[in-house]
């Protein structure tokens, strides 16, 4: 039987479900670890802030840790909200007793507002718990408090990290959500910038989710640098995939990993069904260009060709029928992927596309069907750009200025060495296939 790593969160609860042990356990589960917990405080909390806090007795916290540690092999643990000196001392005692590898997330306040750490407990945290940890993960505000300086930029962040290590920390990761989105790792010898970017989405629980992901990656044997990079990618996507709930700061979505797997399956299935429609049509082969065609479906929020599923090897004409040369795969077609990504830039729902042969007869059928048609001229294509991305965006921009909507179809008349082409922009690959078959039938009836 496969053994899953056991990880633990020692933290407070969030009744709003966005941060604390709720976020930690979601993250543990999403990354395939068995999550355990020791509850330190109960917060009455929502997306607008912390309304009330009830700390558990230190003995109850110790009892929870003992119950798990005496039965399971804790591969790694993390701390979150430890509101008082007594709680911190208790946790430190348990960590020493059971030799638990530790990540310390020095939670001081909630993202939506509200203090979660008593002022007189900061020194206890610095002296008793942080030296026991493998790494501490403050944001810039927390780093400033722990280092005794104000952190405004990366030079300040480096100085704060140095001071924390000099004061006893083994390593520090200053998360950069309040700077430019990158994180700074300092292991006492070298600084490493874990590059990222500021993305749109809810950020409530981002720090908890990051440290929980870091904990799992460390538990599964990754180096600190690799674990930090993996946690960065995970929390960034959790912010992007956040859901709008409540009236304040929206919570991150640690379940995006599971959701993404389902979305990938749906995209592959969509392309497979589209191919089946095209291959079963007696008419569609007449619309296949000389270079072949492809049908693609993108994941929600796709930003690169690797997040767009298409037929690997294209769809070709064989004995007057359409035949897919390969199977659906992500990153299989940069050509059609760029079309989809350009369309999504204007309308996030247009996540599928199909390219077909150009002719005036084909355009006539398309217009007779009442489809909105945009175009671009390759003669105006700037140097050093992707034709498909530039062309699709240009055609959409031009059409939107005149009609205040995105066209259903984009075409160009080609250029020297470039075959003219028609592209169908739709919501699903099966919609593109159905539309193409309808166009082919209309062309045959002329």
Residues 307 and 332 both lie in one domain: yes
Residues 422 and 285 both lie in one domain: yes
Picking from 223, 253, 283, the residue at the C-terminal end of a domain is 253
CATH number of the domain residue 220 falls in: 3.40.1190.20
CATH number of the domain residue 312 falls in: 3.40.225.10
Residue 363 lies in a domain: yes
Number of domains present in the structure of the chain: 2
Residue 340: give the domain boundaries.
259-444
Picking from 253, 283, 318, the residue at the C-terminal end of a domain is 253
Residues 151 and 234 both lie in one domain: yes
Residues of the chain with confidence (pLDDT) below 70: 1-3, 110-116, 446
Q: How far is CA 40 from the centre of its chain?
A: 30
Scanning the structure block, which residue is given the tokens 């029928």? 321
Tell me the β-bridge partners of 155.
Answer: none
What integer pLDDT is reported at residue 251 of this predicted model?
A: 92
What integer pLDDT is reported at residue 241 of this predicted model?
A: 87
Q: What is the pLDDT of residues 279-313, one digit of tens each?
A: 999 999 999 999 999 999 999 989 899 999 999 99
Picking from 195, 225, 253, the residue at the C-terminal end of a domain is 253
Say what percent of the chain tops pLDDT 70: 97
E strand or H helix at 235, and its extent?
A: helix 224-240
SS3 breakdown of the chain: % helix, strand, coil, rounded to 5?
A: 45, 20, 35
Q: What SS3 state is found at 295?
A: strand
Residues 287 and 398 both lie in one domain: yes
pTM passes above 0.95: no
């Amino acid at each position: 039987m496969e053994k899953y790593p056991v990880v633990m969160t020692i933290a407070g609860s969030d009744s709003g479900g966005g941060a604390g042990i709720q976020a930690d356990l979601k993250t543990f589960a999403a990354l395939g670890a068995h999550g355990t917990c020791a509850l330190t405080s109960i917060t009455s909390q929502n997306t607008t802030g912390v309304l009330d806090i009830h700390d558990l007795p230190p003995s109850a916290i110790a009892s929870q840790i003992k119950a798990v540690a005496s039965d399971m092999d804790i591969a790694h643990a993390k701390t979150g909200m430890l509101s008082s000196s007594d709680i911190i001392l208790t946790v430190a005692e348990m960590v020493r007793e059971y030799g638990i590898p530790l990540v310390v997330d020095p939670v001081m306040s909630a993202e939506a507002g509200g203090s979660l750490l008593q002022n007189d407990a900061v020194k206890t945290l610095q002296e008793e718990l942080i030296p026991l940890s493998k790494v501490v993960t403050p944001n810039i505000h927390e780093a400033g408090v722990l280092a005794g300086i104000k952190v405004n930029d990366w030079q300040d962040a480096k100085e704060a990290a140095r001071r924390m290590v000099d004061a006893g920390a083994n390593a520090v990761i200053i998360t950069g959500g309040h700077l430019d989105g990158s994180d700074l790792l300092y292991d006492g010898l070298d600084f490493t910038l874990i590059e990222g970017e500021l993305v749109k989405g809810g950020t409530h629980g981002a720090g908890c989710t990051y440290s929980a992901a870091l904990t799992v990656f460390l538990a599964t044997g990754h180096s600190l640098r690799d674990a930090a990079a993996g946690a960065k990618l995970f929390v960034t996507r959790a912010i992007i995939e956040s859901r709008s709930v409540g009236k304040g700061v929206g919570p991150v979505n640690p379940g995006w990993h599971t959701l993404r797997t389902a979305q990938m399956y749906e995209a592959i299935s969509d392309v497979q069904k589209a191919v089946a429609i095209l291959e079963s049509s007696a008419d569609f082969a007449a619309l296949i260009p000389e270079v072949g065609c492809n049908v693609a479906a993108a994941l929600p929020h796709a930003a690169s060709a690797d997040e767009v599923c298409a037929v690997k090897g294209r769809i070709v004409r064989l004995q007057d029928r359409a035949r897919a040369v390969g199977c659906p795969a992500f990153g299989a077609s940069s050509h059609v992927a760029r079309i989809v990504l350009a369309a999504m830039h204007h309308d996030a729902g247009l996540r599928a596309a199909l390219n077909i042969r150009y002719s005036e007869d084909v355009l006539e059928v398309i217009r007779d069907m009442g489809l909105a048609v945009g175009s671009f001229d390759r003669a105006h294509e700037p140097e050093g750009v992707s034709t498909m991305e530039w062309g699709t965006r240009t055609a959409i921009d031009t059409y939107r200025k005149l009609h205040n909507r995105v066209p259903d179809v984009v075409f160009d008349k080609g250029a020297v060495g470039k075959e003219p082409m028609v592209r169908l922009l739709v919501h699903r690959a099966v919609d593109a296939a159905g539309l193409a078959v309808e166009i082919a039938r209309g062309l045959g009836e002329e």
